[in-house]
Structure formats: structure tokens, C-alpha cells
Chains A and B, each alone.
Chain A
Amino acid sequence: MASISIRNLVKRYGSFTVIPDLNLEIADHEFVVFVGPSGCGKSTLLRIIAGLEPISSGELYIGDNRVNGVPAAQRDIAMVFQDYALYPHMRVYENMSFALELRGTPKAEIDARVKRAAALLHIEPYLGRKPKELSGGQRQRVAMGRAIVRNPKAFLFDEPLSNLDAKLRGQVRAEIKALSQQLKTTMVFVTHDQIEAMTMADRIVVMQSGTVQQYDTPEAVYERPSNQFVAGFIGSPAMNFFPVELRGEQIVFSQDGADAPLDVNSRDLLRKAGHGVFGIRPEHFSVTADAAGAVAVTVRLVEPLGSDTLIHFDLAGASAIARVDPALRPKVGDRLNLRPQPGRAHLFDGSNGQVLR
């Protein structure tokens, strides 16, 4: 078990810089999720921690050891790959015991550790099978088992759920979370799925273009996004954005000049920024009979999800979504007054996307 410290890390492929300058501290026992769109550098960063990619410059520490240039074999970390990467010619037992055998662990201990991990992951009946005789979910468990038996300093997961179907993904997600609480080991998990990030992480690293956009708890990332990118990436459906500006003492939508439902405090912020972006999550609209402080919209599309209903509408030239009570049963063409819930509106700088409030 160990902390992971990344200092001024740069990663280049030839003249192409994937990670320009990255600093990150992952505490011992912490479950950290790297999340971001494809090509943001999250998998590269994980592979650098694993020792599968060299560092162009900067420093990487696992525990107290500087591991720049230390081969993967000597880093004492375990990794679960997206395609599981099981050894096709070995049975499940051998897949799990292989790393221990390499380290010269006594046979009796290997056997005990493999059986303990197999029991933990419910894969005891498959120990004698080859990987090709297992389903996707079972292979995934074997890959986790192979990592667990080693009792490594840190676990690395590279999008391990992306090959599973939706139901199994939810199940395994919960199992990994439970496992992390049980094993109390440092875990780094890479995903492009923000639901996985939100549900599993102690802290989330939101990445874009090789830079850390925000590194905080799931609640903080959701409630207090540091910029428009994070606000738009975390949350499903995504946060609605509307360009706004100050005209006189009035905050209006830039597109049509209609009054925007923002409070007085936003005025001073906008006065400094010049123009901004008003952001509100779909679940933070309230449907109200009273038009004061609300925007009147026409329902364009209704998506009933059972637990709640998504209403699509157009506002100030942008397409937007509100999540409302299913009992409301709105119909296409209905007029609704939507009011941002108090304290739930976000305001971003129109020029650089940084949060203003």
C-alpha cells in the first residue's frame, strides 16, 4: 500500500505532447478515478504509473520511491486491463498464481492466496478452466483476482468495465467499490464513464488535453465544478449552458435579449467578466405556476424514464433539458415555467470557461 505522487510530469510522443505538465497527489488507501473524454491522456497517465510508458520529464513516486525508469516488473503494482489480458494458455488458477510463482512465494501460500481471492470474487468453480471457457464477466473477475492475490502497493484499472453489458457493468462496479473498501489499498481507475467515476471514487481527476481540470470529491466536482468543461462533462444529462450578458443592470440571454433568471450577485461578476455562460443542471429546474424568476419554455420532446421525466426545450437559441417529476406528465407543445432552484445556478466566464460562482 502506498501513495502515488506525480510531479511536473510531461509525456511526449515525438513532437506531440500528450501531457504538458501534470501534478497529482494520490493518498495511501485512496480510490481515485481518472475521467475524461477519449484522448485526454488518462490511460497514458495510468500506463506511466504502471511503468508501461516512459516519462519524458518530471517525477513519479510510488510510496517513498522515485520510480522514473523502474521497470513495471519491479514497481509492485497490479493492473486490470480493458481486455482483461488473461494468459490464454493458462488455467484460471495459473493465471492468478503466476505472479506469485515469479516472486518465489511458497506453494502453500500461493494456494491459500489464490483460493482466498477466488472465494472473494466467487470464481472458485472456474479455477480449472481456460479463459476461453469463461464469459466476459467471469474473465473480468479473474483479471481482478490476478491483481488481488499479489497484495500490491496499488491497483490500476484501465477501463475494465467497458467490455461488459450494462447490467453486468453496474454489478461489477458495485463489487469493485466494495472490494476497495475491503482491501484498503490505493486504487487508480480510468474510465470515460462519469457515472463510474461518481459512484466509485473517493476523489475524481477530471482530465482534458493532458491537463487536470479538477481534482476533488465526486460531490464537489458535481456541486462546484471549477470550469465549464467539468460542469458539462460530469452529470447526465449534461448541464445546460446559455450565453448571458449584462445590459444596463439587467442580465439577459445574449441570443435574444430576454431576461435571464440569475440573481443580483451575478451582476457584479458579469460586470468584471464582460460576458458569461449561465449553467444549470436539468435536475435543478423547478416547474412553477408563477412566472417570476422563471423562464417560459415550450416542450419539444418528452422522455419518460419512470423515476423522472426529461423535458427537451429550446431556450435562447440553445437546446436544453429539464428533469421533472413524472407525475407532471407534460405533453409536446405545452408551455411550462422553469425556475432555477436557489443556489443551483452556475456562472462561467465567457472567455475562458472558468467558474465565476
Chain B
Amino acid sequence: MTDAPITDAWIRRLNLLQLVVAGIIVLTPTLWMVLSSLKPSFEVTAYPPTLMFAPTLENYAQLAETTPFLSYAINSLIVTIGSTALGLLFGIPAAFAVSWTRISWPAILTLAARMAPGTLFLLPWYVMFRQVGMIGSYTALILSHAVITLPIVIWVLLPSFDGIPRSVFEAAQVDGCSVTRILWRIALPLVASGVAVASILAFVFSWNYFLFALVLSNGDSKTLIAAAFNFIGEGSTQWGALMAAATLIALPPLILAALVQRWLVSGLTLGAVKG
């Protein structure tokens, strides 16, 4: 019996070790990116890397001078907010319908579409959008990014809807609710934290998605992540500016996640335990 406290102490130490290792894996590239963005350009690629340096904002200044960064940011926001809204608009009723009918194949189909490589969609979409003259339009980008946001919304919300006792929906039916009204008046308020999580994840994934914007956008509709690619050239990559751009691109999702952190945690575990 005296072994128990020792075992507990070891478990605590192992937990701490796991956290430290995970932290190092996740935070090292982030830290590297932020520090590199603050280094003079000649020090960014120096080997061995310098840890002590005089911080400078010259990379950020270069970024502002050489690119219409704000326009790209607005493009990214329009595409991301648009595709997230589209994902929610169709994903919420779809997830509810899958949960209500217990017919899961439509959800699996969307997951398959999400898991398929983006290149699979690119050619048909390029041809299709070109035919209707939509290449470079926000609509084409928003529609294509819905392939990313829709499955996220459905799969995040599905366990949340499944977690609501069936009898609550049945009580609403008996009370006189149509299925649509059950969704808006009963189910949706009960999965609010799930909707928050789905929105954030959809936002982050759409914000960071590179491939569709690279092919389907033009100079006017280019998103930040696609624009950042311009800094990579043959033999002349501007690493400092690239790191500055990457740091700025990473900020909105980070701020968003920090703001709704509590909802994020409760939403991710929703459906696992019946309330």
C-alpha cells in the first residue's frame, strides 16, 4: 500500500514530461518563426542559428512596402468568414439530420471528400469555374473552401447532437414542434459550445488552406497564405519577410482560439459524457 503515493508521483512526473515534450514539439517551430521574423535578414539563415541578436522590424517593413498585405488580409477574411458561414449554414442542419435519422453515410461521404487530397478537386474546379468566368472571384474561393469547412462543422457537431437525449426531441415533437423548429429552438441552443468549436476550427482550417487559393485566386483575390508564397523564389527566398508574413498570418487564429478557449475545451468534450 505504501507504493501508491510513489506511483502517483511518478505518474505526475510522466504527465509533466509528456507536456514538456509536446510543448517543445509544438512551440519550437512557432518560436523559431517569430524570432526569425525579428532577425536582420542576414541572420535568418545563419548556421549555427543565432539566439542572441538585436531585434528589428525590418522584415515587417519590407513586407508592408513590397506587398499589399492589408488587401490580402481582407481577401483572407472574406474567404474564411464566407466559407465558415457557408459551412455552418449547411453543416448545422446536415449534422442534425444525420443525428436525427441515424443515417450516417452522408456524413461519411463529406469526411471522404475532406480526406481526399485537394489536388483531386483542383482540375475539375479550375475548368468549371473558368467556364463560368469565376476564376479569381471570392465566390469560387468561398465555395471551394466549403469543402474544408462543411465536413468540420458536421463532424464536430454530430457527437454534440447525438449527446442530447432523444426524449428531449420527442417531447418537443409532442409539444407541437416541427423538425426544423426542434433544430432551431431546442437542439441548437444545446450545442452552442459545439458550434463555437466548429466555427473556430473551420475558420482556422480555411484561413490556413493554401492550395485552392493558389490556383483559383488572382492578383485581386489572393489570400494571405497564397501571397506569402511569393517570398519563396528560385534561389532567392526572402526568409525574413516570409517569417514576418507567417507570424502575422498565424495571429488571427491564435487570438480567436485564446478568446474562446473555455468553450473550445468544453465543446471538444461535448457528447462524450451525458449531461
Q: What residues of chain A have their CB less than 8 Å away from a CB belonging to chain B? A: 50-52, 71-75, 77-79, 81-83, 85-89, 98-99, 102-103, 132, 146, 150
Contacts and interface: CB of A to CB of B under 8 A. Distances in A.
A90 B185 CA distance: 10
22 contacts: A52-B174, A72-B170, A73-B173, A73-B174, A73-B175, A73-B176, A75-B174, A79-B174, A81-B167, A82-B167, A83-B167, A85-B170, A85-B171, A86-B168, A87-B186, A89-B189, A98-B172, A98-B185, A102-B175, A102-B176, A103-B176, A146-B171
Contact of B177 (A82, A85, A88, A102): A102
A102 B172 CA distance: 10
B124 interface: no
B173 A72 contact: yes
Contact of A50 (B168, B174, B178): B174
Contacts of A72: 170, 173-174
Interface residues of B, number: 18
Nearest to A80: B171
B171 A73 contact: no
B275 A79 contact: no
Contacts of B186: 87
B12 interface: no
A82 B189 CA distance: 23
Given A82-B167, A83-B165, A89 B173 contact: no
B167 A102 contact: no
Nearest to B167: A85
A133 to B, nearest CB: 13
B168 A87 contact: yes
B181 interface: yes
Given A73-B177, A88-B275, A79 B171 contact: yes
B174 A87 contact: no
B173 A71 contact: yes
A72 B182 CA distance: 13
A50 B175 CA distance: 11
A324 B275 CA distance: 48
A87 B171 contact: yes
B179 to A, nearest CB: 9
A46 to B, nearest CB: 11
Most buried by A among B173, B176, B190: B176
Contacts of A103: 176
Contacts of A87: 168, 171-172, 186
B173 A102 contact: no
A52 B175 contact: no
Contacts of A78: 174
A89 B178 CA distance: 19
Contacts of A150: 175
Nearest to A50: B174
Residue of A72, A75, A77 with highest tally of chain B CB at under 10 A:
A72
B175 A99 contact: yes
Contacts of B275: 88, 132
B191 to A, nearest CB: 10
B196 to A, nearest CB: 15
Contacts of A77: 174
A344 B177 CA distance: 52
A77 to B, nearest CB: 7
A165 to B, nearest CB: 21
A102 B181 contact: yes
Task: Give the 4 A-B CB pairs with smallest separation, nearest first.
Answer: A85-B167, A99-B175, A85-B171, A72-B173
Contacts of A79: 170-171, 174
B138 to A, nearest CB: 36
A119 B172 CA distance: 23
A88 B190 contact: yes
Interface string B153-174: 0000000000001011011111
A85 B165 contact: yes
Interface in B229-275: 275
Contacts of B168: 85-88
Contacts of B173: 51-52, 71-73
B263 to A, nearest CB: 15
A7 B189 CA distance: 41
A86 B165 CA distance: 10
A81 B170 contact: yes
A185 B181 CA distance: 28
Contacts of B171: 79, 81, 85-87, 146
